[in-house]
Chain A
Amino acid sequence: MSVGTSIDTRKLDEIMESYDYNKSNLIAILQKVQEVYRYLPEDAMIYIGTKMEGLSPATVFGVATFYAQFSLEPKGKYEIRVCDGTACHVRGSMPVLNAIRNKLNLKEGQVTSDNGLFSLEIVSCLGACGLAPVCVVNNKVYPQMTSDAISTILDTLIKEEA
């Protein structure tokens, strides 16, 4: 099976090695791969599926598509997660989500902004229900969001990147 040139197989070997090529660590391995590429490139999945005993590319693809955390397309430099758990939903997470979509010109179903800077994801519960509604940008939790507040945060990030 041919593997594209865009993938650094040494890096993948290193990751698999650190988990003893043990197939029960497949999820952890994929998490590490996603840390490197900010998504799971198809070639990386094929490589892992071929290289590890007891796995096939199909199994790897099956696991990758089962869990919400894995993305098959590149995520942005800033990963925005909007919590739409019950508490956040009741306290108005949808207006916040819409404000982000408008600001970043994201169409329904579009994950990553055209310039590749931001990606948007809806998550079910971050366990910070007392601060509802919450947004997370690259693991920093922003409490009690409103559409205005999130716009200001995004403006700051956009300015920093300009």
Chain B
Amino acid sequence: MGLNINILEEQKKAQEHIKEQGLRVLVCAGTGCVANGSLKVIEKFRELGANVSTLTDYDKMTIVPTGCHGFCEQGVLVILPDKHVTYVKVKEADVEEIFESHIKNGVPVERLLYKDPKTGEHVHKNDDINFYAKQTRTALKNCGKINAESVEEAIAVRGYEALAKVIEENNPDGVIDTIVKSGLRGRGGGGFPTGMKWKFTAANRGGKSYVVCNGDEGDPGAFMDRSVMEGDPHKLLEGMAIAGFAVGADEAYIYVRAEYPLAIKRLRKAIADAEDKNLLGKNIMGSDFSFTIHIKEGAGAFVCGEETALIASIEGERGMPRPKPPFPANKGLFGRPTLINNVETLANVPLIILNGAEWFAQMGCETSKGTKTFALTGEVNNTGLIEVPMGTTLREIIFDIGGGIRGGKKFKAVQIGGPSGGCLTEEHLDIPMDYDSLIKAGAMVGSGGLVVMAEDTCMVEVARFFMNFTKNESCGKCVPCREGTKNMLKILEKIVAGKGELSDLDLLEELANTVKDGSLCGLGKTAPNPVLSTLKYFRDEYIAHIVDKKCPAGVCTAMKKVVINPDLCKGCTKCARTCPVGAIEGTVKNPHHIDQSKCIKCEACLKNCPFKAIALE
């Protein structure tokens, strides 16, 4: 098909334009950095740079608000790519120093450079920061490097080149073959081969069909899709358009969580900008291919991440899953054939088209190709968003990229895949992180949330926490999930409160297996995973709660006792007077004593004791 836009020429123009910007100062304007005050940093830089015409090596500078760099912990991040320097934890007050010292006079500001937690030394070059050095960024390639709100900058980094290529070559089946050969699998959790999904949908070509992008990133502890939508929205739009071209759809929806207002704003702007340039919309680049993208905001329901529930929600209904088959590829949105892919999956598509299936397939391992983004959070030194080849070990992720456990604590477990996943322990540190190895270990990649837990995290409490989440989010349509999660939570609450019995563990396991086998959708099928995996790897903690009435991690307050150390107590009577329930007995100048049957563990006495004689044990 002939095109009336030469994308390569546009690309060249956009690159020239970037060169004319002089020194580019990248300031992260992702949700994390905005919360840390990046908008003020940007303003200050603009103010300082507005009237200056002589800088070291440059005649001017341009401030570029970018998407997430991933290193949220260290925000606000300011990066001078030409000078290979990353400044961390930059405050508005530091801007002038960076400007005067480094930008004007070429002397880096040592104190604002990233400090390696292992060596304690400042790192001068971007490439030497461990957090980045061990990553392979493909889906996140441009995140943090371009102005997320500029379609020109997206074009400059080869944006829409892949779309132009597929339209020009006009071989939809060839596109599908490329995706099949690349070995790309769904990044939203299930890991279903993407190319197969495209094939199934394409089999229904001819009538109206839809592409739907699942941006309902509901797993607590995951934010990779948010970062792509905020940091490189055009890549997602391009991926969707390519998918549409391949399967024969002319209309699409992106379903975004309402909790992501910035992502929604940037996507809206990106769609409008791309339509202005005729890169989306009617007769794209002068061809016969038209593709319109709409945004649908979610309204807060975890189950809408399940594809059939998501479809119900786009249709304006309660987001309840529908039985499969029929699969969405045959009968999906408004009863039409629908291709549903996750954000990260679609963001990989333009790169596969540009670089070829072989390029993608040589990354990763046997059954899981390419890279995967993970949100690394919890008790780890470097929290943030990372992207590594599939099959990287947990040890590399936590100890190299993540910089080890916070505060020198001991590693205990990592929860992967959110409430649908499981926990992995020390013995799993060296297994490859890919779809199949993780399933074998009783966990799953899920959307890629990795929450690191240290010795002072109680695994029974964690299981309770996730069960509380899934119980609340269960839509109530099928009985096993609705009633099963409720009753599993009841048992877990009982154990955490110190009232558990050993027989509860058998019941818990039985319920878990019933819910797993009997539920309608992925939410219920995976809800018991945290319970099953903690029972498998941390059964001793359950038993300690039940038999010894003790929480080994010291988290569950119901197991704790407030006690007075008779050696430190001076008998000042202050605690007895503070106690709201009259549980403290004793006479003046004699050590006091707490009646445990009356104590409500409010800790009022503990906070008020002038001699620090009261402790929670």
Q: Which of B34, B299, B302, B379 has the most CB of A within 10 A?
A: B299
Q: Which residues of B in the span 384-410 have a Cβ within 8 Å of any Cβ on A?
A: 384-385
Q: Is residue A156 contacting chain B, with contact meaning CB distance below 8 A? A: no
Closest approach, in angstroms, between the C-beta of A130 and any C-beta of chain B? 3
Whether the pair A62, B35 counts as a contact (CB closer than 8 A) is: no
Q: How far is the CA of A90 from the CA of B553 in the complex (A)?
A: 13
Chain B residues touching A, range: 35 or more
Q: Which of A1-9, A23-31, A72-80 contacts B (4 or more CB under 8 A)?
A: A23-31
Whether the pair A141, B35 counts as a contact (CB closer than 8 A) is: yes
Closest approach, in angstroms, between the C-beta of A153 and any C-beta of chain B? 13
Q: Is residue B534 contacting chain A, with contact meaning CB distance below 8 A? A: no
Whether the pair A130, B319 counts as a contact (CB closer than 8 A) is: no
Closest approach, in angstroms, between the C-beta of A40 and any C-beta of chain B? 11
Whether the pair A90, B319 counts as a contact (CB closer than 8 A) is: no
Whether the pair A86, B36 counts as a contact (CB closer than 8 A) is: no
Q: How far is the CA of A26 from the CA of B260 in the complex (A)?
A: 20
Contact partner, B299, options A68, A123, A129, Cβ 8 Å: A68
Q: How far is the CA of A31 from the CA of B256 in the complex (A)?
A: 14
Closest residue on chain B to residue A52 by CB atoms: B316
Closest residue on chain B to residue A66 by CB atoms: B318
Residues of chain A contacted by B156 (CB below 8 angstroms): none
Closest residue on chain A to residue B295 by CB atoms: A28
Contact partner, B258, options A22, A31, A124, Cβ 8 Å: A31
Q: Which residues of A in the span 115-144 have a Cβ within 8 Å of any Cβ on B?
A: 123-132, 134, 139-143
Known: A125-B221, A127-B226. A68 touches B301 (CB 8 A): yes
Q: Is residue B378 contacting chain A, with contact meaning CB distance below 8 A? A: yes
Residues of chain B contacted by A36 (CB below 8 angstroms): none
Q: How far is the CA of A134 from the CA of B32 in the complex (A)?
A: 10
Closest approach, in angstroms, between the C-beta of B31 and any C-beta of chain A? 5
Q: Mark B313-327, 1 if CB is under 8 A from A, else 0.
A: 111111110000000
Residues of chain B contacted by A91 (CB below 8 angstroms): 378-379
Q: Is residue A49 contacting chain B, with contact meaning CB distance below 8 A? A: no
Q: How far is the CA of A30 from the CA of B300 in the complex (A)?
A: 13
Closest residue on chain B to residue A22 by CB atoms: B316
Q: How far is the CA of A25 from the CA of B449 in the complex (A)?
A: 31
Q: Is residue B538 contacting chain A, with contact meaning CB distance below 8 A? A: no
Q: Which residues of B in the span 457-489 have a Cβ within 8 Å of any Cβ on A?
A: 457, 465-466, 469, 473, 475
Contact partner, B36, options A26, A126, A131, Cβ 8 Å: A131
Whether the pair B32, A128 counts as a contact (CB closer than 8 A) is: yes
Q: How far is the CA of A126 from the CA of B257 in the complex (A)?
A: 10
Residues of chain B contacted by A141 (CB below 8 angstroms): 31, 34-35
Residues of chain A contacted by B378 (CB below 8 angstroms): 86-87, 90-91
Q: How far is the CA of A99 from the CA of B257 in the complex (A)?
A: 28
Closest residue on chain B to residue A127 by CB atoms: B223
Residues of chain A contacted by B260 (CB below 8 angstroms): 127
Closest residue on chain A to residue B31 by CB atoms: A128
Whether the pair A27, B297 counts as a contact (CB closer than 8 A) is: yes
Q: Which of B212-220, B278-286, B496-504 contacts A (4 or more CB under 8 A)?
A: B212-220
Q: How far is the CA of A72 from the CA of B501 in the complex (A)?
A: 40
Whether the pair A66, B319 counts as a contact (CB closer than 8 A) is: yes
Residues of chain A contacted by B334 (CB below 8 angstroms): 24
Q: Which residues of B in the span 30-81 have a Cβ within 8 Å of any Cβ on A?
A: 31-32, 34-36, 71-73, 75
Residues of chain B contacted by A87 (CB below 8 angstroms): 220-221, 377-378, 383, 451
Q: Which of B220, B226, B449, B473 has the most CB of A within 10 A?
A: B220
Q: How far is the CA of A91 from the CA of B385 in the complex (A)?
A: 18
Q: Is residue B251 contacting chain A, with contact meaning CB distance below 8 A? A: no
Whether the pair B31, A31 counts as a contact (CB closer than 8 A) is: no
Q: How far is the CA of A139 from the CA of B217 in the complex (A)?
A: 18
Q: Is residue A69 contacting chain B, with contact meaning CB distance below 8 A? A: yes
Q: How far is the CA of A22 from the CA of B71 in the complex (A)?
A: 42
Q: How far is the CA of A84 from the CA of B461 in the complex (A)?
A: 14
Q: Is residue B186 contacting chain A, with contact meaning CB distance below 8 A? A: no
Whether the pair B384, A130 counts as a contact (CB closer than 8 A) is: yes
Residues of chain B contacted by A24 (CB below 8 angstroms): 314-316, 334
Whether the pair B261, A131 counts as a contact (CB closer than 8 A) is: no
Q: Is residue B342 contacting chain A, with contact meaning CB distance below 8 A? A: no
Q: Is residue B453 contacting chain A, with contact meaning CB distance below 8 A? A: yes
Q: Is residue B139 contacting chain A, with contact meaning CB distance below 8 A? A: no
Contact partner, B31, options A28, A30, A127, Cβ 8 Å: A127
Residues of chain B contacted by A70 (CB below 8 angstroms): 299
Whether the pair B377, A132 counts as a contact (CB closer than 8 A) is: yes
Residues of chain A contacted by B32 (CB below 8 angstroms): 128, 130-131, 143
Whether the pair A67, B451 counts as a contact (CB closer than 8 A) is: no
Residues of chain B contacted by A124 (CB below 8 angstroms): 218, 220, 302, 469, 473
Q: How far is the CA of A25 from the CA of B35 in the complex (A)?
A: 31
Q: Is residue B329 contacting chain A, with contact meaning CB distance below 8 A? A: no
Contact partner, A86, options B318, B320, B418, Cβ 8 Å: B418
Q: Mark B434-462, 1 if CB is under 8 A from A, else 0.
A: 00000000000000010101000100000
Q: Is residue A149 contacting chain B, with contact meaning CB distance below 8 A? A: no
Whether the pair A86, B451 counts as a contact (CB closer than 8 A) is: yes
Residues of chain B contacted by A132 (CB below 8 angstroms): 377, 383
Known: A31-B297, A68-B299, A126-B259. A90 touches B218 (CB 8 A): no
Task: Pick 8 A–B contacts, CB within 8 A, sort by A.
Answer: A28-B297, A84-B220, A90-B453, A123-B259, A128-B31, A129-B375, A129-B449, A130-B32
Instruction: Give A residues with C-beta under 8 Å from B.
Output: 22-28, 30-31, 59, 62-63, 66-70, 84-87, 89-91, 123-132, 134, 139-143
Report, nearest first, the 5 A-B pairs whose CB atoms are least far apart.
A130-B72, A85-B220, A68-B300, A67-B299, A141-B35
